[in-house]
Every structure is written in C-alpha cells, then in structure tokens.
Amino acid sequence: MKKTLLTTAITLASATAGISQAQAAELTISCGAVGAELTLCQEGVEAWEEKTGHEVDVVSTPNSSTERLSLYQQILSANSSDIDVMQIDVVWPGLLANHLLDLREVLGDDAAEGHFDTIVTNNTIDDRLVAMPWFTDAGVLYYREDLLEKHGFDVPTTWQELTETARAIKQAEREAGNDRMQGYVFQGRAYEGLTVNALEWVASHGGGNVVEADGEVSINNPQAAEALDLAASWIGDISPNGVLNYTEEEARGVFQGGNAVFMRNWPYAWALAQSEDSDVRGNVGVTQLPAGGEDGESAAGLGGWNLAVSRYTENPELAADLVAFLTGEEEQKRRAVEASYNPTIDALYQDDEVLEAVPFFGTLYDTFTNAVARPSAPTGDAYGRVSNAFFSATHEVLSGTKDGAQAVEDLENELLRLKRRNW
C-alpha cells in the first residue's frame, strides 16, 4: 500500500549515481523539480553520500505547490515511512507539524543559528522546530533592458505604469513583425502561485493581507477589489489568455524565449534567464515589484522551502544529518552561486562570490527581508482552504466571471465561515 502510493504518485527521479539498484537506499528525500531544483538537490545529496557513505534515493514531486501538498498529505496521513526527508513550503509548517520531527531534539538547540529569525519562527510550531530553512523566495519583477531602452521607457514603479509600458512596447514590437510578443507574464493558474501573485497586487494597493496577523478577515475592501480588477484588465491585453493556466515555468518559458517585456517570478529564474541557452541572456534586469498606484508600495510575496523529517522515518538521526548538511552554509552558497536560490543564512548576503553571481541579492536585500507573508500563521491548519478560496476567487475575476468588488465580498463570507470553525 505504502509503496503503491509512492510509486503511483511520484516519479522516481533517479537512484543516485554509483548506487547499486539492488541495494535498498537508507533514506529517501523528496525534492522539487522547478527549473534546476532537482539537479541541485541530487548534487547536494551526492556530496552527503560521499561524505558519509550512506545511500539516498531522490524522488521528484509535482511543480505546483498545491499538488505537492495533497501528495504529502496523502503520504503522511497513511503514516507512511516512504519519504524520510521532505521539502516543504514556507506556508505548510502549521499544516504538517503533527507529522514532523522536532529537529532541535535531534540536531541540538542551536540547529538553526545564523538563519533568518523570521523563517525559524515560521517553522517553529508549539516550540518545535519542524523544518530547517533551505532557501527563501520573494516575488521580483524581471524586465527586458534592451526593449525598454529601444522604445525609450523607464523601469515602471507602479502597476499602472507597467500596464502602459507593457502595452506600448508590445504593440510597437508587433508592428515591427514580432507577433508573439507579450507585455507581462505571471502565475495565473488556479493554484498556490496565484495566491502569492494576488496577495502582491492587493497588498501593494494597500488592501491588506487577506487575513491579518490577528485573524481578522480583511479582504473585502475597495483597494483589494481595484487591484484584482486591474489584473483582470491585463488578460488579452498585455498578458495572453493562456496566462490563466501559467505556473512559474510557463511564464519563464515565454520570457526566456524572448517573448515578453515583463515577468513576475522568483529569483531562480535569473540563473536560467542568464544561462548560455537563453534567448535573453545579457538583456535581463531584475527589480522590486511595482507599487499599487502613487499611494501604494511595492509588496513582494514571501516564499521559500524548508527541509523536514517525517515522524514516521525509521532513521531519524541519519535523516536529520542529511537535512543539516543540505541546509548548511556550504550547500546554500553553492545553490546561490550556481542557480540563484536565496540563502536563508544572513551572512551569505555579504559573500562576494554570491553577490557577483546574483547582484540583486545585494540590491534587493530589503525586498527579501521584508517580504509579505501569506496568512498561514493566523489560519494554521485551515491555510490550505483559505488559499484555495483566495486563488479561486482571484481566478474568477481574471477570467471575467466576477468583478473585483463581488469577488472580495463573496470571499469574505467564505473566509468568515472558515474562521468560525478554525481560528
């Protein structure tokens, strides 16, 4: 039963090089596979295997955080020991805590020393450190330096400016024969990524954080409605209709293929957009996301991933040792330099090699440390349902079935119903 669950639900990505297939691995780790993630994870695991002589299977998980969560929930609710170490999203500690080990018990009280306090606090549920910070994330704006210069535009600082600039450049490029050019690509599919994009639009317009730190449901306000309406106006204008089904990788594909002026994405897209086989290599700028109008401010959604050890593991100490190694300074530096994954260790933001590889880790440092959290802390184990309600409502506005005002009113009712039972 356990194996069936795992083998049907997850692709066995690879048994690490040099390991005999006949020999059972001692540990299994599940990693993401967005961009270069899986390769990076495998390389890190191999280094630990060489150092310790132990064997690890690496399995990949679906790219969508929403799908990954339901997979983990199935595996963990079956008390399955199939996966020892899990890559978990920054919004999941409250949802999964009961299934995870307290890493301080195995690694000691100073296990997370040097890591950003906010993430350590986020990962601490009822005084238990249920995951070690691995990389942090914040939404950033990618733009085509060459196209802005060619058409005489500045980097936009408000969403309204971005809309105008994207439209003008898209039209000019199309008139010049580039009929695949788009203005703006982002994550518009109905999944966790849309929750982050929509939170950024709403928060940057002064419309709050959907549910506030004290548990109050705040989404039903005019700024939130206005932010969603503005985003809906992009569809079929500066953004393709297909964006309603885009995750991170679809947006990156369009931008990296040279077919978009602007893209909202996470920092991982930098190393790939600047890689040798990228069509936009050398022409990419990265800055903070625009503010919602003159009175608004830039709001970057906080993301990131952590490594947790399942309570059902048969090898808790070995699993925790692998986690400590992968989340340690050397690995975090390698991941930053090779693939622009943001460290969770503050000192690495002063490291010359890191800053040379990813200059915006320095220039946008404040963006990374002040990113806006999704309301996972106040809503606890109801967060999955809260996020589902929010991205579904947003998707309805983007696809034109509701306007912003109606959507935030309906969403408020739904969230108040959830709040009565859950927080």
Instruction: Note the residues at the interface with ligand GLC (CB under 6 A).
Output: 65, 89-90, 137, 192-193, 196, 248, 266, 303-305
Q: d(Cα 199, Cα 303) in Å, to the nearest integer? A: 12
Could you tell me where the beta strands, DSSP code E, fall in 274-377?
Answer: 284-287, 302-309
Nearer to ligand GLC, 193 or 292 (CB): 193
Shortest separation between residue 85's beta carbon and ligand GLC, angstroms: 18
Measured torsion, CA atoms of residues 412, 415, 416, 418, in degrees rounded to the nearest 10: 170
Kindly tell me which of 137 and 331 has the beta carbon lying closer to ligand GLC: 137
State the minimum distance, in angstroms, from the CB of residue 233 to ligand GLC: 23
Shortest Cβ 421–ligand GLC spacing (Å): 24
Closest CA to 326 of 17, 92, 30, 33: 30
Q: Please list, residue by residue across 108-124, b when 16 or more beta carbons sit within 10 angstroms of its beta carbon and e when fewer do.
A: eeebbeebbebbbebbb
With respect to ligand GLC, which residue has the nearer C-beta, 143 or 266?
A: 266
Least distance to ligand GLC, CB of residue 208, Å: 19
Q: Minimum distance between the CB of residue 266 and ligand GLC, rounded to whole angstroms?
A: 5
Tokens coding 174: 């199309």
Q: Minimum distance between the CB of residue 251 and ligand GLC, rounded to whole angstroms?
A: 11
Query: How is residue 311 written in tokens?
Result: 């309570």
How far apart, in whole angstroms, are the C-alpha atoms of residue 14 and residue 72?
19
Residue whose C-beta lies closest to ligand GLC = 303
Q: Closer to ligand GLC at the Cβ: 192 or 396?
A: 192
Using CA atoms, how far apart are residues 384 and 69, in angstroms rounded to an integer? 9
Backbone CA torsion sign across 360, 366, 368, 371: negative
Cβ at position 109, least distance to ligand GLC in Å = 27
Q: Which is nearer to ligand GLC, 65 or 256 (CB)?
A: 65
What is the rounded distance in angstroms from the CA atom of residue 376 to the CA atom of residue 361? 25
- In the complex with ligand GLC, the residue whose CB is nearer, 40 or 181, is 40
Q: What minimum distance in Å lies between the beta carbon of 89 and ligand GLC?
A: 5
- Closer Cβ to ligand GLC, 312 or 361, answer by number: 361
Q: Which parts of 61-157 are beta strand (E)?
A: 85-89, 124-125, 128-129, 132-138, 140-144
CB 166 within 8 A of CB 255: no
Q: Which of 185, 219, 209 is nearest to 414 (CA)?
A: 219
The two structure tokens encoding residue 167: 């439209």
User: How do strand 124-125 and strand 128-129 relate by DSSP bridges?
Assistant: antiparallel
- Which residue lies nearer to ligand GLC by CB, 220 or 332? 332
DSSP annotation string for 181-217 = -EEEE---SSSHHHHHHHHHHHHHTT---SB-TTS-B
